[in-house]
Amino acid sequence: MARVALGFIGLGAMGGRVTKRLLDAGYQVTGHNRTRSKAQWLLDAGMRWAGTPREVAEASDVIFTMVTNTAALEAVVRGPDGVLAGLGPGKVYVDMSTVSPAKSRELAEQVAARGARMLDTPVSGSPITLEQGQLSMMAGGDWEAFERVKPVLHAIAPIVNYVGTNGQAVLMKIAVNLNLQVQIMAFCEALLLAEKGGIPRATAMKVLLDSVIASPSLKYRTPFILNEPDEAWFNVNMMQKDLLLALDMGRQLDVPLPTVAVSNEFLTMARAMGLAEHDFFIVYKVLAKLAGIEA
């Protein structure tokens, strides 16, 4: 598998870093991004450029996509210049996006009609965990296709869990991500309670992160409350997209998700306050405003 030709479409904050890991692992990668200038650092690192998603698919044995939502995925796979048009027998298409499980299954059927096979393989982690080689990944789809591309997947993430058929990995990712916002909400409530009771914010944060409640996600994201990053890792709009996917699946599967529903409303408040492009930890400012605290 070391000589397999890879393609990657969607070279944003996560996709670009995934591509860099693949290049560093010695793979030949052909890439495409809506804005070429954002991919220049990867071209400098040895990535080959393709003008369209179709050209990426035609040049590659295994084709990855990692885009923001279902609509963005449709945009790169459909039409005469889309991924589907460049697929054929023997190719494996791997989508790393967090999208509707139903749409993912529908796309897998269309990929199969082209003679190729599809996996959905979203990841759990952040730009930091990716750079540190600590991502985890979940995979759904054809078992033989999974076994074939597993060495490539392990070049991206040390932990890769196969969870079932097409769409199941996306469902699992939605289940993971709903936890992120709910955890952040609880942390912010605890922090504000301590702070309004007279404990300095930085002190209260350290105590919370040294306690049994600390998770890896909280440890690397909640410091943003003290020092916001220049670039959002995962903004309010992206997180709300995932929570809405979770709520939709909850309705379909008759699973009540009350904490998700409440957390989602606080993201709507953040958007109403003009904070949509901030990392989703920004709900701290929403809660602080309600508590009468200057955030």
For residues 36 and 10, the answer to whether their CB atoms sit within 8 Å is: no
Helix (H, G, I), strand (E, B) or coil at 19: helix
User: What positions carry a catalytic annotation?
Assistant: 173
Cβ atoms within 10 A of the Cβ of 91, count? Answer: 22
The distance of Cα 255 from the centroid of its chain, to the nearest Å, equals: 23
What b/e string do you get for 17-55 counting C-beta neighbours within 10 Å, with b at 16 or more? bbbbbbbeeebbbbbbbeeeeebeebeeeebbebebbbb
- Cα→Cα distances 59→8, 31, 83, Å: 11, 10, 11
At residue 49, the 3 state secondary structure works out as strand
Secondary structure letter of residue 29 according to DSSP: E
Q: Residue 253 CB: number of other CB atoms within 10 A?
A: 9
Q: Which two three-digit tokens encode residue 103?
A: 């749409």
